[in-house]
């Protein structure tokens, strides 16, 4: 099916847009060293590019006083809290306390006012206090960066919408192991769950709101 027929297939059914709110936060999903270190089995060069693209996003968010939430993945040494996920993806078992690859990349260090949540599964919302925290702060929109697009980003974007927050996935600031799942999932997120926006659009939106 060509691109034109694909667009025609979705037209009129999956082409509505969600309007961003006035109380956004930024969600940085799993930008950990495991995805940026060449020796790691999870290494993905596109994630390195997404990390660099996220630097101005976070700088702008901090300038406007927007809340920033990071996630990272950690398991007990025996992986028992990883359930079927670590059985399906055994490389995740290495994400334990004290492992350098499990730490957030040095290019995007959390600041004292930022929240860092630990998760064991794909979605940043699953079995974490993220939804309650956002609700308590009056947040209505999430600017989403992180990895991988087809995994934790997609799962988080879907749950974001399902919890009543508008997901704005920043295209330049998400990455995957391969372009095909990356593009397919961005297409699907835009069609059904949220909005996929450029870094320029995201920065303009941040400049238009005041988080302080």
Would you state the structure tokens that stand for residue 57, as one six-digit string?
A: 């996003």
Going by C-beta distance under 8 Å and a sequence separation of 6 or more, which residues neighbour residue 23? 137, 138, 139, 140, 141, 209, 211
Strands across the sheet containing 68-73: 115-119, 68-73, 24-29, 141-147, 166-175, 195-197
Total residue length of the chain: 212
Query: Which candidate in 48, 147, 152, 173 is catalytic?
Result: 152
Residue 30, Cβ density class (10 Å: 0-12 exposed, 13-18 middle, ≥19 buried): buried
Q: Whole-angstrom Cα distance, residue 198 to residue 17?
A: 15
| Contact indicator for 189, 181 with CB cutoff of 8 Å | no
Asked whether the CA dihedral 80, 85, 90, 93 is positive or negative, the reply is negative
Residue 152 annotated as catalytic: yes
The answer to whether residues 175 and 28 touch, using CB atoms and an 8 Å cutoff, is no
User: Which positions are annotated as active-site residues?
Assistant: 152
């Amino acid at each position: 099916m060509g691109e034109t027929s694909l667009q025609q297939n979705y037209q009129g059914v999956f082409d509505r847009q969600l309007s961003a709110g006035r109380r956004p936060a930024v969600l940085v999903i799993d930008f950990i060293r495991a995805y940026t270190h060449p020796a790691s089995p999870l290494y993905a060069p596109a994630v390195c590019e997404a990390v660099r693209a996220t630097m101005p996003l976070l700088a702008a968010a901090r300038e406007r006083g927007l809340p920033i939430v990071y996630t990272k993945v950690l398991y007990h040494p025996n992986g028992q809290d990883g359930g079927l996920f670590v059985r399906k993806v055994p490389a995740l078992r290495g994400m334990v306390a004290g492992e350098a690859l499990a730490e957030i990349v040095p290019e995007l260090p959390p600041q004292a006012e930022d929240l860092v949540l630990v998760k064991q599964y794909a979605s940043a919302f699953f079995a974490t206090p993220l939804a309650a925290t956002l609700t308590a702060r009056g947040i209505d929109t999430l600017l989403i960066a992180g990895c991988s697009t087809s995994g934790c980003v997609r799962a988080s974007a879907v749950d974001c919408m399902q919890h009543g927050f508008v997901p704005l996935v920043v295209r330049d600031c998400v990455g995957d192991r391969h372009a095909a799942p990356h593009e397919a999932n961005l297409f699907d997120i835009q069609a059904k769950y949220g909005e996929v926006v450029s870094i320029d659009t995201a920065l303009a939106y941040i400049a238009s709101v005041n988080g302080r």
